[in-house]
Amino acid sequence: MKNLFNNIFLLGITCSFLTACVDEEFEYAQDAESEELFILALDADEGGALESETDYGLEIAFQDYFGKLPETEVIFSFELKDAEGLEIGPGDNQVHIKEVIYEIDDCTEGELEFTFNADGTGTITLKPSAEIGMPEAFEIVFNLPFETVVEEGEEEEKALLDDDIENEDDRGFVFEITGINSTNSFIALNPVSMFEFKVLDNEQITAEWELNISDESVFNQFKEALSPISAELAALNYSELSAIKFEFEFEELTIKIELNEEEADECDPTDFSNKEIEIEADFSAEDGELELEGSYFIFNDEDSEVEDKLDFILKAVYEINLEEETLTIKVQSLEDEDNFNDAAFYNSDNAYTFILNRD
Amino acid sequence: MKKNLQGGIIMLSKYTFFGLMVTCLLCNAVLAERGHAQNVKDVIITVEAKYANLAQLFKTIEGSTPFKFMYSSQNISLEGEIELENRKASVAEVLYEVSGKTKLQFRQINNSIVVTPGKNVGSKVKSARETWGIVTGKVIDAKSSEPLPGASVVVVGETYGAVTDLQGEFNLMLKTQAKQIEIRYLGYQTKLVDIEIPESDILIIGEIAMQANSVALSEVVTYGNLEGQQKALNQQKNSDNIKNIVAADQISRFPDPNVAEALQRVPGVNIERDQGEGRYVLVRGLAPQFTNININGEQIPSPEAGVRFVALDAIPADQLASIEVTKALTPDMDGDAIGGSVNLITRTAKSTTPAISGTLIGGYNNLMEKANGQGSLQYGQRFGAEGKLGLLVNASHYYTDRGSDNWERDGSEFELRDYALQRSRTGLSGTLDYNINANNNLYFRGIYNNFQDREQRRTYLFVPNEDDSPFEDAEIERGSKDRWEKQIVSSFNLGGKHSFANLSLDYEVSYSEAYQDTPFDTEPVFKAKADLIGIDFSTNPEFPKFTVEGADYLDNSIYEFDEITTGNTYALDVNKTAKINLGIPYKLNGAEGLLKFGGKVRLKEKSFDITENVYSWEGGDIQINGASEDFTLNFFEGGLLDNNFLDGQYQINRNIDVSQLNRFFNQNRNGFALEVEDKQVAESVESYKATEDVYAAYLMTKLQFKKLMALGGFRYETTKVTYNSQAAIFDVEGDLDRIDPIDGGVTYDFLLPQIHFKYQLNPLTNIRFAATASYSRPNFEDIVPSQEIELNAREGSIGNPELAPVSAYNIDLMGEHYFGTVGIISAGLFYKNLDNFIFTQRYDSIINNINVVLNQSRNGESAELLGFELAYQQNMTFLPGALKGIGLYANYTYTNSLANISNRSGEAGTEEIRLPGQAAHVGNLSLAYDYGKFNLRASANFNGEYISELGDEAEEDVYVKSRMQIDLTGAYRITRNFQVFGEFMNLTNQPYEVYQGSEDQYIQREFYSWWSRVGVKFNF
């Protein structure tokens, strides 16, 4: 009987040792380093160019990675498809791939081999270059329909899509990476493999506009309206100014403030152009309402170095006069992360009004 | 006076000489190939025919045999030529011949040959002056034959005596005129033993059996005699310094599965909890880093990165024989313990009768509605005719499914946290010891603890757009955490203890290792936007209410994937230690003294490695169930759903199943983008390697003047620290600029004077006083010079390799009275003055010509701590009838502290704060009743409120609110070998509560409900 008791308890203890353990079952996430993937991704899944443009570049880049890129050749297969309001093909008046380039340095570009078939399919071969090894990124340059005209004795490319009417139908195409082929299984493509291109209609807000600054008071208004988000503008005098241009592109606005002062091109010291101050923002324009969202740097008073980066929102209403080719923007409010609602830089139905002319 | 001093010095010199001789003997004994001494009759030597004196002969014998001669140069003259006939003979034959020619007597004790004068000579010497001899023996329990450590052995008619060690053994140098010794032991009948000691000789009494006091009752019988606690209190009573000792049987009377929880019952100790279970120990109101944690007398390393203190929930309580909490250090102890020193003592085999004991426990957690279990098995036996070889192996395993329902507040944000945990605690310990003889013991001890914690945390975080900012959204974040953490703490000690007539020696080498391995830790987050989130913290601060407009927060399809963090960490801490202690007894003016000195080396290596990957999703719509869908939570929900979260106060939905999401991750890695820069920064800044070499030496002496014991001495410790880490520097635009390697090191020294007095009012009452110096090393996370500096934000944090340890002097006054049964009443005052107190300082600096504000741990401020503690423990056997079964265990500690830190308001000067971790009131009250075979105990543990975190200003200080947990235990002894018991913990569902600023501003409330265990204990 005593032995039976002993056996039962010893068995019980043994069982408790064997059975009651922390559950170690777990689906481990693959390791970022030992199983590192080198992922190639499209820069965007949609974009567009003004109808006056004759080409457009789409970047494909490796996402952030450790160490060194594998120097294994990668062949992309692609397809241009779903053309609307234009044709796909090898001609100048058709959409095709003009070139595939990569950056060797700030002033030098290299080209990747590619093939393009009339049906819109083709391949791009990514391989290491002698100068920089495997490129971290490359740009596919699409040819947009154009014709060559001679003006004042010089040949110029004239965009065939550039018209003077407001186009109600969409014009564009789709570019899709249909596959990649490499002997290195750790090179992968981001699942977002399709890029949708749209032609931006100049008869809408998407165009290049210029603010007439012949009157200094216009500049002063402009400066007052936007200097809270641009320290460079705040420090600018009218006498330094050459022009102010608003470039509305695909969901992005760049306000370029051209100065009288010129500077040499970084890559060509003999080529001079006006210095520019830029204010960049994403924009949405719908039903006459315009909203800009961007960010700007705050500089330290003592050392003049960047101290912070704040988001801003500028709200306005706009109106386009097709006949006079003008864009009227009534700026209503400007807020940033530290100054909003009652503390906004300004907030009024008609705080500042600017009339821009199509450039 | 001068003569007495001279006599004392001569006596000291004499015994120092004896001590050195015995040391030599010991070395021979230890290094000898054979484990036991040879007999003088068996060892053949060759000697010269003639020696100029006996000293030369002795030298010859010592040189060619393992034997060493012991004699008093004052009693024995070695002068005079001697001729020998037996040129080649046994040592015994040679000495027999010498004895015949010189009238000297020889007696072999192990490898020692004690030389005494012949009877005729001896009588002359005796009459001339006082003579001394040695008594050794072992005090055991008459019934169980187990040794009784801490027994008081006093020479009748004299004021001096000895205390038995952990093996129940004692050595006592006494006048040969002494005729009786008295042995006292709490809970036992006092015993007188007649002795007759030959001059300059050793009397080995052997075992002295003590009879326990029997409590003869008609109905009430003593239940679970707490023999271990009797031993513990005896040790506590007879110890030289202020300490509390809790024995295994006392521990087992409370429902405390781990060491931290067992320690909460000790006066002056409170604990920090994790998920309702005790984890860190705070002694006398000082944060965990101020307490030194040891296993078998050796510091154990911390498995956690960055800190020194040990999470004691990793160690099962049933692995231990006893716990010692020392509150006043002696010079032979490590000096880096301002709060106190906790020593966890593992078990040793006691008897030649095999002892097998164990427990089998099953339990239930009400919150999780799941079972828990525990099993332990212990085997111990001494082998050989004299039980010289002892082996004890103890294994235990504990498993529990725990959980908690929790809400937290951070500013305007409100979070619901639902925890589910699986925890196991496995312990394996063993002791192999060999008693060469009554006075020489070799041992090997090992302990291995494996604590595993699988935590699954599911959260709802409500983030209102407090300022109605157009740049922010009202958001709800859903997070799941699945983390498996293993803490392994192991320690191995190899050493020996030797007691000789005039010297005691112990030495030890040990290796201890602790690591924390987190093989996986994954936290995905999904987010949803809402039009408006309102949170009302004021109407019902205990359970704030929230409203969500524009989104159904229970609909999992509104939550879109935000990010997933995966990673693992590995922290390692290794200690290699060697130490030696020598004790030389001496007499000074009739007072018995002990001169003790020794040294220690501890080499530490500590490192931390981390892998942290944060991914966002860049893959657009996901392909799931054959369709293209938004990446939302509803496709990855799983796991437990608590339909009664926080007792029904809040409704929650099923959360993310992390494994399911990881499967998707592995199949779709090309859609996830790794935050490479964040990974580089986290892994380089947080990881480090460090070494810390400590060299220590001490000299101390103890003197027993009649009823007064004085102990004083110095300890010197020098510490050399080196580090390898990295610094991350960000550019002005906030991007990572570079990561620089940083190497550093620092050396510091401490000389720590310490003095203790113990005055024995009567055999059961002591008054103690101690003035000690101690220090506390900074945590590694504070001193490793890693740095993370964000130039764009103009702030950063930076380690401080120059950070000095906190130093302190401590005053303790304690009165204690022990009861004849297991009981004590004590009261004590303590005061601590801390210098170089470490605090976090913000200061201006210039890096790359840019002004930045840096956070860095710094020295420079002072702190004071004053308190008193009361303890009472008694079995009321003096009460009539059935009331005899009542037992009371109570203690209370009040502490007040004042620390100066730089003024947080920005003004110049300092401000006064309470020390973080210091609770004003800490206490225990436990009422027990023994009736027949039944035992019932209700226990309450009270932890007063304390500051857990200092804010940027006083209003932001974070407090842990006071908490009182009530537990109930009951047991019934079925037979002599079997006992069943039940434990019910946290009967009142006491939450863990944290508030900020004012008491009604809760920022956390965490509930665990009650849990229980029912089991059987057996022993054969």
* B657, B681 Cβ separation under 8 angstroms: no
H helix or E strand, kind and range, residue A218: helix A216-226
What is the structure's pLDDT at B714?
Answer: 96
Q: Indicate whether A181 and A259 sit together in one domain.
A: no
Q: Is residue A15 part of a domain?
A: no
The pLDDT of residue B246 is 87
DSSP E strands: which ranges in B501-549?
503-530, 532-536, 545-549
Q: Does A6 reach chain B within 8 Å, measured CB to CB?
A: yes
Q: Which amino acid type is present at position A125?
A: T
Within 10 A of A266 (CB to CB), how many other CB atoms are there? 9
At residue B182, does pLDDT exceed 90? no
Q: What is the mean pLDDT of residues A254-277?
A: 94
pLDDT-based confidence at B849, cuts 50/70/90? low
- Which of B107 and B452 is assigned the larger pLDDT? B452
Last residue of a domain, one of A199, A231, A259: A199
Q: How many Å lie between the alpha carbon of A159 and the closest alpha carbon of chain B?
A: 33
Partner residue opposite A12 with nearest CB, options B360, B484, B673: B360
What type of residue is B526?
Answer: F
Do A195 and A242 belong to one domain? no
A170 plus A47 within the same structural domain: yes
Co-location of A74 and A184 in the same domain: yes
Please give the torsion angle defined by the CA atoms of residues B141, B146, B152 and B155, in that order, rounded to the nearest 10 degrees: 70
CATH number of the domain bearing residue A138: 2.60.40.2030
| B109 pLDDT above the threshold of 70 | no
**Residues A177 and A233 occupy one common structural domain:** no
Q: What's the pLDDT tens digit per position in B530-555?
A: 999 999 999 999 999 999 999 999 99
What domains appear along chain B, each with residue ranges and CATH number? 1-129 (3.55.50.30), 343-1019 (2.40.170.20)
Average pLDDT of chain A, as a whole number: 91
A348-355, long-range: CB within 8 Å, 24+ apart, which pairs?
Answer: A351/A225, A352/A221, A352/A222, A352/A224, A352/A225, A353/A221, A353/A328, A353/A329, A354/A211, A354/A218, A354/A221, A354/A222, A354/A225, A354/A328, A354/A329, A355/A211, A355/A212, A355/A326, A355/A327, A355/A328
Mean pLDDT over each residue of chain B, to the nearest integer? 84
- Distance between CA atoms of B414 and B624, rounded to whole angstroms? 32
Confidence of residue B619 (pLDDT cuts 50, 70, 90): very high
Query: With b meaning 16 or more CB within 10 Å and e meaning fewer, what string describes A128-163?
Result: eeeeeebbeebbbbbbbbbeeeeeeeeeeeebbbbe
- Give the percent of chain A with pLDDT over 90: 77
- What is the token pair recorded at A87? 């044709």
pLDDT at B23: 37
- Note the pLDDT of residue B856: 80
Read off the pLDDT band of A217 (50, 70, 90): very high
Residues A143 and A269 occupy one common structural domain: no
Q: Are B794 and A22 in contact (CB < 8 Å)?
A: no
B465 and A CB contact within 8 Å: no
**Is A348 a member of any domain?**
yes
Give the residue from chain B lying closest to A24, CA to CA.
B484
Interface test with B, best of A14, A19, A305 (most B CBs within 10 A): A305
Q: Which domain holds residue A226?
A: 208-358
- Put simply, the answer to whether B611 touches A6 (Cβ < 8 Å) is no
Residue A146: is its pLDDT beyond 90?
yes
pLDDT at B29 over 90: no
pLDDT for residue B540: 94
Give yes or no: residues A265 and A182 share one domain. Answer: no
Do residues A105 and A247 share a domain?
A: no
On whether residue A23 sits in a domain, the answer given is no
**pLDDT at position A165 over 90:** no
The pLDDT assigned to B880 comes to 83
pLDDT at B944: 93
Tell me the sheet residues that pair with B207: B138
> Which residue in chain B has the smallest CA separation from A186?
B670
pLDDT over 70 (residue B223): no
Structure confidence at residue B5 as a pLDDT band (50, 70, 90): very low
pLDDT at B148: 80
Say how far apart CA B201 and CA B107 lie, in whole Å. 9
Residues A140, A219: one domain?
Answer: no
pLDDT at A3: 54
pLDDT at residue number B15 = 40
Q: B158 and B175 in contact (C-beta within 8 Å)?
A: yes
Q: Average pLDDT of B396-408? A: 93
pLDDT value of residue B837: 82
pLDDT value of position A44? 94
Task: For B30-59, write each residue's pLDDT tens digit.
Answer: 333 333 446 676 677 888 888 888 888 888
Position B436 scores a pLDDT of 86
A292 close to A281: Cβ distance less than 8 angstroms: yes
Q: Is B375 on the interface with A (CB under 8 A)?
A: yes
What per-residue confidence (pLDDT) applies to A152? Answer: 83
- Per-residue pLDDT reduced to its tens digit, B957-1014: 899 999 999 999 999 989 888 889 999 999 999 999 999 988 889 999 999 999 999 9
The four Cα atoms B247, B249, B251, B255 give a dihedral, to 10 degrees, of 180
Distance CA B394, CA B513 (A): 19
pLDDT tens track for A308-317: 889 999 999 9
Instruction: Answer whether B850 sits within 8 Å of A300, measured CB to CB.
Output: yes
In this structure, what are the phi and psi dihedrals at residue B557, rounded to the nearest 5 degrees?
Answer: -75, -10
Which of residues A22 and B1017 earns the better pLDDT score?
B1017
CA distances, B233 to each of B152, B226, B254, B538 (Å):
12, 11, 17, 51
CA distance B59 to B61: 5
B859-883 mean pLDDT: 86
- A186 interfaces chain B, CB cutoff of 8 Å: no
Q: CA-to-CA distance for A252 and A229, rounded, in angstroms?
A: 17
Q: Is the pLDDT of residue B251 over 90?
A: no
Residues of A in contact with B379 (CB under 8 A): none
- The single residue listed with the structure tokens 């200003």 is B953
| pLDDT value, residue B439 | 77
Quick one: A121 and A169 in the same domain? yes
Query: How far does chain A reach from its first CA to its final CA, in angstroms?
Result: 106
Q: Which residue has the higher pLDDT, B300 or B857?
A: B300
Q: Does residue A279 sit in the same domain as residue A351?
A: yes
User: CA of B124: how far to CAs of B176, B199, B982, in Å?
Assistant: 14, 12, 70
> Roughly how many angstroms between the first and final C-alpha of chain B, as a whole number?
61
Alpha-helical runs (H) found in A229-272: 231-234
The number of folded domains in chain A is 2
Mean pLDDT of the B258-264 span: 89
In this prediction, residue A171 carries a pLDDT of 94
**Neighbour count for residue B413 (Cβ, 10 Å):** 16
Residues A195 and A328 placed together within one structural domain of the fold = no
Domain end point (choices A199, A234, A251): A199
Task: Flag whether A329 is in a domain.
Answer: yes
Q: How far apart are CA B96 and CA B110, in angstroms?
A: 18
Output Rg (C-alpha) for chain A, integer angstroms.
Answer: 29
Q: Tell me, what's the ipTM? A: 0.91
Decide if A3 is inside a domain: no
Q: How far apart are CA A299 and CA B11, in angstroms?
A: 82
Please determine, for residue B4, whether its predicted confidence score (pLDDT) is greater than 50.
no
Listed residues A178, A199, A220: the one ending a domain = A199
The whole-number pLDDT of residue A107 equals 92
Q: Which of A23, A27, A311 sits opposite B663 (nearest CB)?
A: A27
Residue A296: closest C-alpha in chain B: B733
Measured between beta carbons, the chain B residues lying within 8 angstroms of A297 are: 733
Task: Give percent above pLDDT 70 in chain A.
Answer: 94
The percent of residues above 90 in pLDDT, for chain B, comes to 46
Q: Show residues of chain B in contact with A66, CB under 8 Å.
A: 676
Q: Residue B640's pLDDT band (boundaries 50, 70, 90)?
A: confident
A222 pLDDT higher than 90: yes
Q: pLDDT per residue over A171-181, tens digit each?
A: 999 999 999 99
* Helix, coil or strand: residue B588: strand
Contacts of A188 in chain B (CB under 8 A): 669-670
Per CB-CB distance under 8 Å, the chain A contacts of B395 are: 17
Closest residue in B to A34 (Cα) is: B611
Confidence at A18, pLDDT banded by 50, 70, 90: very low
Determine the pLDDT at residue B30.
37
Average pLDDT over every residue of B769-790: 85
